[in-house]
């Protein structure tokens, strides 16, 4: 996947703010799932589309084993020294770097990959027999509003900008209903013991930080496509800064399954 295709470019300074906020919001759930699979010392783990260091660093601390973190853009990984290996890799077009992982994990990756079916197959191919796949993807279609309590002008503006954001994503081939498909896709791929759940936070400083960083990243595209005006964006960011908006993320669907032994 070319960087130009990706709406939220890792080269932008706001990307680091987004990664921090996403880690605060979703790492606890991700780590809980990994723990339930038996993550332990000696495991070999591939973190696909890692983005930043928080997830692979935590995995490395738990496993003391071989942890590989890959991304098409390793800007936020290369300066880290947290016990994991960093490699540039395009999950949509390139083969797996190895085929003996105990766990392969991807979060907020496949929806942005045009060749997502091929990418899923590549990750499964990389598992050793009995190995686990954990895929976590947002599903904006399940809950399309930035403010589910759409009662005032500030909330309605937030929801207008969220809809505009999703228009931009859809134009780039993002499947806005991909998350709900994960359990079926994992079973169809031959995985066993498939389970899933979904989680999304409403309100709080981390959600506000994520919203500000995301809006700043797409500001110029919103204006250029006339999906929002500069005044609307400034008003929304001012509303977010008050801390009085009960902003929500899209539901994060987590699905996991095991490769047959």
Could you tell me the domains of the chain?
3-258 (3.40.50.150)
Q: What percent of the chain has pLDDT over 70?
A: 93
The mean pLDDT value for 189-218 works out to 96
Mean pLDDT over 226-247 rounds to 97
62-103: per-residue pLDDT in tens? 999 899 999 998 888 875 567 899 999 999 999 999 889 999
Confidence bin at 6 (pLDDT 50/70/90): low
Q: Does residue 1 carry a pLDDT above 50? A: no
pLDDT, tens digit (0-9, with 9 covering 90-100), for 125-136: 999 999 999 999
Strand 192-199, strand 85-88: pairing: unpaired
**Structure confidence at residue 184 (pLDDT):** 98
pLDDT digits (tens, 9 = 90+) for 147-184: 999 999 999 999 999 999 999 988 888 888 999 999 99
Tell which wins on pLDDT, 113 or 8. Answer: 113
Higher-pLDDT residue of 37 and 2 is: 37
- Identify the weakest region by mean pLDDT among 29-43, 77-91, 239-253: 77-91
Q: Is the pLDDT of residue 5 over 60?
A: no
According to the model, what pLDDT value does residue 2 have? 41
pLDDT in tens, 211-224: 999 999 999 999 99
pLDDT of 10: 59
């Amino acid at each position: 996947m070319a960087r130009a295709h990706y709406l939220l470019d890792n080269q932008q300074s706001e990307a680091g703010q987004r990664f921090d906020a996403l880690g605060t919001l979703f790492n606890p759930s991700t780590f809980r799932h990994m723990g339930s699979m038996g993550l332990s010392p000696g495991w070999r783990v591939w973190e696909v589309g890692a983005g930043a260091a928080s997830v692979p660093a935590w995995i490395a601390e738990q496993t003391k084993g071989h942890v590989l973190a890959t991304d098409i853009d390793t800007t936020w990984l290369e300066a880290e020294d947290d016990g994991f290996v960093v490699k540039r890799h395009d999950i949509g077009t390139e083969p797996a770097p190895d085929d003996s992982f105990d766990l392969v994990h991807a979060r907020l990756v496949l929806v942005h990959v045009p060749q997502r079916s091929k990418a899923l197959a590549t990750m499964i191919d990389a598992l050793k027999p009995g190995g686990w796949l954990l895929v976590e993807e947002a599903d904006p279609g399940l809950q399309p509003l930035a403010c589910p309590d759409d009662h005032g002008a500030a909330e309605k503006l937030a929801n207008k900008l969220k809809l505009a954001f999703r228009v931009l994503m859809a134009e780039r081939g993002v499947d806005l209903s991909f998350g709900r498909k994960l359990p079926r896709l994992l079973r169809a791929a031959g995985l066993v013991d498939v389970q899933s759940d979904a989680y999304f936070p409403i309100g709080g400083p981390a959600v506000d930080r994520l919203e500000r960083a995301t809006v700043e990243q797409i500001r110029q595209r919103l204006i250029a496509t006339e999906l929002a005006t500069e005044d609307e964006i400034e008003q929304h960011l001012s509303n977010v800064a008050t801390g009085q908006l009960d902003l929500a993320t899209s539901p994060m669907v987590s699905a996991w399954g095991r490769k047959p032994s």
